[in-house]
Structure 1
Amino acid sequence: MSSAAVADRWGRKRMLLGYTLVGVASLMLMLTDAAQGIIAIRALLRLSKAMIMPTALLQIRLVFTAFSVIAALTLLAQWLQLVHGASLFTRPACC
């Protein structure tokens, strides 16, 4: 079942729990040293980001007008690239 289908059943506001999961998982990732823990937390991060994306795209379409939706989606994509690029440097490679 996709996260968009879950959002339809649970509601958009409950799917925003994904933001909390991203924050908690990021903090856990900083404190984990074992490879198995890092892999498990990365899986949790991917799940929580999958919860966020459909809701974020829907919110953009509800808030912005038709012309500014393109600009908002562009800003979202650039922000995600910036966050992903910064995450490569926040934790050194294992050992």
Structure 2
Amino acid sequence: MPIVFCSLEIHLPHSHSLKEKRSVLRKVVDRLRSRFNFSVSEIEHQELWQRARVGAVAIGPNRIVLEGLSAKFIQESERILGGDLLRYDVDIFDYE
């Protein structure tokens, strides 16, 4: 059973408080969740105002399906976040 893990490193330059950061991040996470069948959550930098790391995980029938799905997930993330997406990582591995 293949599993894909996507990590998004995000910079939120217009955020001036944790409350504001969470509001912006919630909209991004909700939009990605509704569009893709991924489990999405903030996984790092919870205490910083202007940085966030979001993790997204999905399982699928084979690697080819997950490669296509993760590519679309990253494209949508880039479209939503624009220049605020600093970097991303995608890992696909098999779990037996």
TM-score range, shorter-chain basis?
A: 0.3 to 0.5
TM-score by length of 1: 0.34
Larger relative contact order, structure 1 or 2 (CA cutoff 8 Å, min sep 6): 2
Q: Which has the greater radius of gyration?
A: 1
